[in-house]
Structure 1
Amino acid sequence: MTIVDRLRACWGFSPNVDRNVALVDGFLNGKTIAELAQEHRLSKTRTRQIIEKADRLVGGGILTKAEPSEAPPRSDFMAAYRYVWSLAETHRLGSVAPHHFFKELQRAGSLERLVDRIQRNPKRAPTIRELARLVCLKETGKSPWPAMKRS
C-alpha cells in the first residue's frame, strides 16, 4: 500500500481529501511547496501544514524519515477498514463516530475483542456499537446483536 493510498484511508470525512492527497502526491513527485500552493490556490504556510499533518498521519516518509513506530496504530486499522467512513455516512452516524470507533478498536486490539467489550457494556457509546455491528456484518455476514432503534 502506497503512502497516498494510506493517506486517503486515514483522512476520513475531510471535505478536501482529494486536494490534500493531490498536494502530498505532488510533493512526493518533486514539486516545491510554493508551486503546489500556487497550483491549489493556498498559502505556502497552509500547504506546509497540510503536508506536515499528512506526514504525521502516516508516520513519516513524506517530510521526515519513515518511522513505522511513529505512525499511530490507528492508521493501520483505518487502512484495513477503509469502508467505515462511508458506512457511517450512509447510516447517518455522524462524522466523529468513525474516529471514536478507530480509537476503541486500537484500544481493544481487534474487532472481535471490541465486540466482546461492547457486549459486556451495551449501553455505552451507541454509535460506536452500531458502527461495530455494521463492520461485523460486512466482515462476517452476520450481526452480533440487533440493530439500533431509530425513532
Structure 2
Amino acid sequence: MYPVYLLEDDLQQQAIYQQIIANTIMINEFGMTLKCAASDTETLLAAIKDQQRGLFFLDMEIEDNRQAGLEVATKIRQMMPFAQIVFITTHEELTLLTLERKIAPLDYILKDQSMAEIKRQLIDDLLLAEKQNEAAAYHRENLFSWQITSL
C-alpha cells in the first residue's frame, strides 16, 4: 500500500482533510492508505521513519512556526527523493521558497478558497499520485537486469 501522510495542526481542518482522503481512497479503490494524520512535525517525522515513498499533504504553518511545513518537506525530500508533496496553506508568499529549496511540490493548495475547491484539488492530487504510482510500479516490474560472470 502506498502511504499517505497529513500534517495539519487545526484539528477541525485535519478531520475534514482526513475524511476527503479516506473517502477518495475507498471509493476509487486506490492502493493507498492514510498512514498518519499528525498535528505536529515530530509525530509526522517519526511516522515516516524507514519509509521509501509516500504522498504528503503538509500545512505550511504549524503552531507559531510559519515555515514548519517547509522545513518538514525539506527533510522528507532528503529522505525520499521521489516523495510527492502537496502544501495546503494560507501562505501564498512562501511558494517561491519551495522552489528555492528544490522541494518540487506536486501541488500548492491555498486555504482561502472554498472548501469545495480544496476538496476538488485534494481529490485531483490523489488521482494524480495514484496514476504516477501505478506507472512507476509498471516500470519497476518491467525492468530486466542481467550480469555476465566469468567462468
User: Could you tell me the TM-score, scaled by structure 1's length?
Assistant: 0.25
Q: Please state which structure has a larger fraction of its residues in strand.
A: 2
Larger RCO (alpha carbons 8 Å, 6+ apart): 2
Q: Please state which structure has a larger fraction of its residues in helix.
A: 1
User: Could you tell me the TM-score, scaled by structure 2's length?
Assistant: 0.25
